[in-house]
């Protein structure tokens, strides 16, 4: 097994009597782009500050390449400047009163780097982010995207073992943000950097990350690849945070060969794929979670397996597609469909589900 570049084991941090981070555990593989994703106030920045050494955990352990750098139990706490981590902070990117050169040189000056190698390293870092020639510019004489790149160069300048990025693209407009996303990912791959990234933006997390850890109120909800957490959310919170979900509540029915879910007031039932059968009991009430794009809308017809009867309540025209609000099994669902076939408000329809794309969750999740 490869040794993790960074490992958190049951790390806890409170402010007063509120717990910002609770028993947080995850491991970052070398060269991995790993993202903490969650809503405002869920403890993302606090986790990053714990890793950087700007906060001390009150319990748990943080290991860098297998070596403890923070462990209250062992009485270990390595100060930030000994951790070789590059960090781009959430709130401000760079120091406005300094030139680009001085901004990037700063971490090296703090470490007492000799003048000649300092100049060379600054020049290399600026080259990496495409800002050669900007050395003498004042930091405020740059566009937002250029300022973000200076911040990135400053975090890269002493070849950090890990790069910590706290919503580094949040101050940019949508177009620049997408461009910087692509550049950041390319740079990370080229340098094989281990990155711990923080964002509350699900599409940013999905496009950038090798793996995502979804955080809710200081606790981990799920860790997985973008595909895993989108297609197999472990909780309804994860499902909703990553996009739209369609949730039905029903009763588990088991037979020898199969398992399916029945719905109150429904005329049909849905079979559940093999890998989802888990430990659900006959008669248990469960949630069946699906993505709107995985449900097909069909004109009314004779009952067929894995279909449910529904009624169109509303149709919204979104230009490239249609959005249907439908009633099925006593619930209101929002679905999307292409424009080829249209169903008017009030129409009876059938919804076709794909058993392989259904996730079964217990009620409490
Ligand atoms: N220095 C502090 N003193 C007291 N409480 C704090 C402090 N820093 C953070 N908190 C609290 O800890 C919780 C987690 O904060 P944190 O900054 O880690 O959230 P976040 O996930 O980064 O949110 P955002 O997306 O808004 O940046 C919040 O409830 C916050 O109010
Ligand atoms: Mg934050």
pLDDT at 277: 66
Closest of 237, 260, 293, 252 to residue 42, by C-alpha = 237
Global pTM reads 0.86
**Residue 98, CA distances (Å) to 102, 103, 156, 205, 342 in order:** 6, 6, 18, 32, 60
Q: Is the per-residue pLDDT at 265 higher than 80?
A: no
Q: Tell whether 133 and 19 lie within a shared domain.
A: yes
Domain enclosing residue 265, as ranges: 244-362
Beta carbon of 91 within 6 Å of any ligand 1 atom: no
Q: Tell whether 92 and 225 lie within a shared domain.
A: yes
Section 105-119 average pLDDT: 90
Section 3-13 average pLDDT: 96
Q: How many domains does the chain have?
A: 2
Q: Is the per-residue pLDDT at 115 higher than 90?
A: yes
129-179 confidence digits (pLDDT tens): 888 999 999 988 888 778 888 988 898 888 788 999 999 887 777 877 888
- Give me the residues near ligand 2 (ion), CB cutoff below 5 Å: 45, 90
Q: Tell whether 230 and 272 lie within a shared domain.
A: no
CATH number at residue 81: 3.40.50.300
Beta carbon of 13 within 6 Å of any ligand 1 atom: no
Look at 268 and 227; give whichever has higher pLDDT: 227
CB 33 within 8 A of CB 210: yes
Q: Tell whether 122 and 185 lie within a shared domain.
A: yes
Q: Tell whether 221 and 284 lie within a shared domain.
A: no
- For residue 21, the ligand 1 atom closest to its alpha carbon is 14
- Residue 90: inside a domain: yes
Q: What is the mean pLDDT of the chain?
A: 90
**Cα distance between residue 325 and residue 246, in whole Å:** 11
- For residue 200, the ligand 1 atom closest to its alpha carbon is 25
Beta carbon of 200 within 6 Å of any ligand 1 atom: yes
pLDDT at 34: 98
**Cα distance between residue 181 and residue 300, in whole Å:** 44
Structure tokens at 206: 């999905």
Distance from the alpha carbon of residue 47 to the mean position of ligand 1, in angstroms: 10
Here the contacts of 282-285 (C-beta below 8 Å, separation 24 or greater) are: 282/252, 282/253, 282/254, 283/251, 283/252, 283/253, 284/251, 284/252, 284/362, 285/249, 285/250, 285/251, 285/252, 285/363
- Residue 1: inside a domain: no
Q: Bridge-partner residues for 211, per DSSP?
A: 34
Cα torsion 81, 86, 92, 95 to 10°: value is 70
Q: Tell whether 29 and 91 lie within a shared domain.
A: yes
Look at 356 and 15; give whichever has higher pLDDT: 15
pLDDT at 184: 86
Structure tokens at 248: 């039905």
List of residues 6+ apart from 104 with CB closer than 8 A:
122, 125, 126, 150, 153, 154, 157
Q: How many helices (H) and strands (E) does the chain have?
A: 8, 21
- From 14, 44, 220, the mutation candidate for ligand 1 (largest count of ligand atoms within 8 A of CB) is 44
170-224 confidence digits (pLDDT tens): 777 787 788 888 888 988 898 899 999 999 999 999 999 999 999 999 999 999 9
**Cα distance between residue 23 and residue 59, in whole Å:** 8
- Residue 180: inside a domain: yes
Q: What percent of the chain has pLDDT over 70?
A: 98
Q: Is the per-residue pLDDT at 92 higher than 70?
A: no
44-59 confidence digits (pLDDT tens): 999 999 999 999 999 9
Q: Is the per-residue pLDDT at 354 higher than 80?
A: yes
Look at 274 and 119; give whichever has higher pLDDT: 119
Q: Bridge-partner residues for 297, per DSSP?
A: 351
Closest of 45, 22, 357 to residue 221, by C-alpha = 22
Q: Tell whether 167 and 258 lie within a shared domain.
A: no
- Given pLDDT bands bounded at 50, 70 and 90, which one contains residue 91? low
Report which listed range, 67-71, 200-204, 254-258, is most confident: 67-71
Q: Tell whether 45 and 169 lie within a shared domain.
A: yes
**Residue 179, CA distances (Å) to 93, 104, 150, 207 in order:** 18, 22, 15, 12
Q: Tell whether 82 and 175 lie within a shared domain.
A: yes
């Amino acid at each position: 097994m490869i040794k993790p570049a960074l490992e958190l084991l049951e790390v806890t941090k409170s402010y007063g009597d509120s717990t910002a981070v609770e028993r947080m555990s995850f491991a970052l593989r070398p060269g991995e782009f790993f993202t903490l994703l969650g809503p405002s106030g869920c403890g993302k920045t606090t986790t990053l500050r714990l890793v950087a050494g700007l906060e001390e955990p009150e319990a748990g352990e943080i290991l860098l390449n297998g070596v403890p750098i923070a462990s209250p139990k062992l009485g270990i706490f390595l100060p930030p400047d000994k951790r070789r981590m590059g960090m781009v902070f959430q709130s401000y990117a760079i120091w406005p009163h300094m030139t680009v050169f001085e901004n990037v040189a700063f971490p090296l000056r703090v470490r007492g780097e000799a003048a000649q190698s300092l100049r060379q390293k600054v020049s290399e870092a600026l080259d990496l982010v495409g800002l050669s020639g900007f050395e003498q510019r004042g930091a405020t004489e740059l566009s937002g995207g250029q300022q973000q790149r200076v911040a990135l160069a400053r975090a890269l300048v002493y070849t950090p073992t890990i790069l910590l990025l706290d919503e580094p693209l949040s101050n940019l407009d949508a177009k620049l943000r997408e461009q910087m996303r692509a550049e950041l990912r390319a740079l990370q791959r080229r340098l094989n950097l281990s990155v711990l990234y923080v964002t509350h933006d699900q599409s940013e997390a999905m496009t950038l990350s090798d793996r995502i850890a979804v955080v809710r109120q200081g606790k981990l909800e799920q860790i997985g690849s973008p595909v895993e957490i989108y297609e197999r959310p472990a909780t309804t919170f994860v499902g909703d945070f990553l996009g739209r979900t369609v949730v039905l509540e029903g009763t588990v029915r088991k037979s020898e060969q199969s398992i399916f879910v029945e719905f109150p007031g429904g005329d049909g039932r849905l079979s559940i794929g093999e890998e989802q059968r888990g430990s659900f009991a006959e008669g248990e009430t469960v949630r069946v979670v699906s993505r709107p794009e995985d449900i097909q809308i069909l004109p009314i017809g004779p009952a067929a397996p894995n279909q449910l009867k529904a009624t169109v309540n509303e149709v919204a025209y979104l230009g490239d597609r249609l959005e249907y609000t439908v009633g099925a099994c006593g619930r209101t669902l929002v679905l999307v469909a292409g424009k080829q076939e249209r169903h008017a408000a009030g129409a009876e329809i059938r919804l076709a589900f794909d058993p392989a794309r259904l996730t079964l969750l217990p009620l409490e999740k």
